[in-house]
A and B are shown apart, each in its own frame.
Chain A
Amino acid sequence: DVKVTQSSRYLVKRTGEKVFLECVQDMDHENMFWYRQDPGLGLRLIYFSYDVKMKEKGDIPEGYSVSREKKERFSLILESASTNQTSMYLCASSGGGHITGELFFGEGSRLTVL
């Protein structure tokens, strides 16, 4: 069964802390994505990556960075967490040159910043 696994389902952090959100996929997909989901705002793209060590900014990259050292793993980093980063974070992957546009999502990581 294909899977996108996010390391933490629920996290509580304090303002100013560094936060790592890890995502691993077992489908040998080239493309990986980080979204955040907020009520009334839908899914917004933070960063994505087409290949190892490559990254592209999405629509809301401010306050975030990413790391893709291995094909299967894509990490989202909050260098100094702030309360407005309290959200549901969703990792997704898709195959390279994929023509159907289908993304496979993880179960999400609910982050609360106090």
Chain B
Amino acid sequence: DQQVKQNSPSLSVQEGRISILNCDYTNSMFDYFLWYKKYPAEGPTFLISISSIKDKNEDGRFTVFLNKSAKHLSLHIVPSQPGDSAVYFCAASAGKGGSEKLVFGKGTKLTVNP
């Protein structure tokens, strides 16, 4: 049973526009959520996170929104740049927010067209 779902395997946007990547989860015990970015032939890199006590966290062009009642989070990238083209993984953990039991979604491949 998939606890973290990224229902869109791919997304294509124009440079300068907003990219919105979505993630849904089923486990109400999850209290920490993270987004990772992965380029081909490289390991994933941490992008941004949010604790369940917040509903928004912003870092430059990247903003993560959390809707606990809907068990939904989203990553907004504004403005999108060609270098943002990558696979984005949503991840969640339970307990103290420790990374030891991160559960990952299947990823969304973002393509930003010049």
Binding-face segment, A13-21, A63-71, A77-85, A99-107:
A99-107
Interface residues of A in 7-44 (CB under 8 A from B): 31, 33, 35, 40-44
Residue of A43, A50, A94, A100 near B104 (CB, 8 A) is: A43
Q: How far is the CA of A87 from the CA of B64 in the complex (A)?
A: 30
Question: What residues of A have a CB within 8 angstroms of the CB of B101 in the complex?
Answer: 45
Check A105–B45 contact: CB distance below 8 A.
yes
Check B89–A107 contact: CB distance below 8 A.
no
Check A43–B42 contact: CB distance below 8 A.
no
Q: Can you list, as one digit per residue, whether each of B23-44 has a CB less than 8 Å from chain A (1) or not (0)?
A: 0000000001010100001111
Is the C-beta of A76 less than 8 angstroms from some C-beta in chain B?
no
Check A102–B43 contact: CB distance below 8 A.
no
* Closest residue on chain B to residue A101 by CB atoms: B99
Check A97–B43 contact: CB distance below 8 A.
no
Question: What residues of A have a CB within 8 angstroms of the CB of B6 in the complex?
Answer: 42
Is the C-beta of A111 less than 8 angstroms from some C-beta in chain B?
no
Is the C-beta of A46 less than 8 angstroms from some C-beta in chain B?
no
Check A101–B105 contact: CB distance below 8 A.
no
Assuming the A-B contacts A42-B104, A42-B106, are A105 and B99 also in contact, with contact meaning beta carbons closer than 8 angstroms in the complex?
no
Assuming the A-B contacts A101-B32, A101-B34, A102-B34, are A43 and B98 also in contact, with contact meaning beta carbons closer than 8 angstroms in the complex?
no
Question: What residues of A have a CB within 8 angstroms of the CB of B79 in the complex?
Answer: none
Question: What residues of A have a CB within 8 angstroms of the CB of B97 in the complex?
Answer: 99-101
Q: How far is the CB of A105 from chain B (nearest CB, A)?
A: 3
* Closest residue on chain A to residue B96 by CB atoms: A99
Question: What residues of B have a CB within 8 angstroms of the CB of A102 in the complex?
Answer: 34, 46, 49, 99
Q: Give me the 8 closest cross-chain CB pairs, A-B, nearest first.
A: A105-B43, A42-B106, A43-B104, A101-B99, A94-B99, A102-B46, A42-B104, A105-B44
Chain A residues close to B by CB (< 8 Å): 4, 31, 33, 35, 40-45, 48, 50, 90, 92, 94, 97-108
Name 20 A/B residue pairs within 8 A (Cβ), A-sorted.
Answer: A33-B100, A40-B9, A41-B106, A43-B89, A43-B91, A45-B102, A97-B98, A98-B98, A98-B99, A99-B97, A101-B32, A101-B97, A101-B99, A101-B102, A102-B46, A102-B49, A105-B45, A107-B42, A107-B43, A108-B42
